[in-house]
Each structure stands twice: as structure tokens, then as C-alpha cells.
Amino acid sequence: MGLTDRRKIHKEGRFSKSVILPAGLRTGEYATLAADRLVLIDPRGETPPDVLLDLMEKHLEPIIWRGIANKDSE
């Protein structure tokens, strides 16, 4: 079962923002992520970023945005 949490975005330096993961989540030394309108994070760093991006762009985003569009049209 997954965890849900909401965290404030803290600007770190001039060009980046930090990602703070919930303490109860098992993490690795590094996390990998893919981002566009959504952010998909592998907190253990076991999945290469290009695989995460492919999964997000080809599978997750189309389903999510189609679901949001259908909900808005009701």
C-alpha cells in the first residue's frame, strides 16, 4: 500500500527545488524521477529515469488527463 503526503516546495539554490520524502517510505541512497506536469519518483533509485519518463508519458498521463477531462464534462 502506498503513502500519500503533501509537502511545501522549498527553493534550493538558484535553479533547483528539493524533494522531501515521507519518513515512513523506504528509500535508497538516491531517488530517480521523471517530471513534466506530474512528478513520478522512485525513492529507492532502482528504476532508470528514462524508464520512469516513458511510463509516465505513455501510460500514466494519458489515463489521468482523460479521467480529469471526463470528470469536468459531467
**Do 45 and 32 form a contact (C-beta atoms < 8 A)?**
yes
What's phi and psi for 32, nearest 5 deg?
-110, 150
What's phi and psi for 49, nearest 5 deg?
-55, -35
Range of the domain at 56: 44-74
**Do 34 and 19 form a contact (C-beta atoms < 8 A)?**
no
Of all residues in the chain, what percent carry a pLDDT higher than 90? 32
Residue 33 lies in a domain: no
Q: Where does the pLDDT of residue 58 fall: very low under 50, low under 70, confident under 90, or very high at 90 and above?
A: very high
- Report the chain's terminal Cα–Cα distance, integer Å: 30
What's phi and psi for 56, nearest 5 deg?
-65, -50
Number of structural domains in the chain: 1
Q: Using a cut of 0.85, tell me whether the model's pTM lies above it.
A: no
C-alpha grid cell, residue 2: 502506498
Residue 27 lies in a domain: no
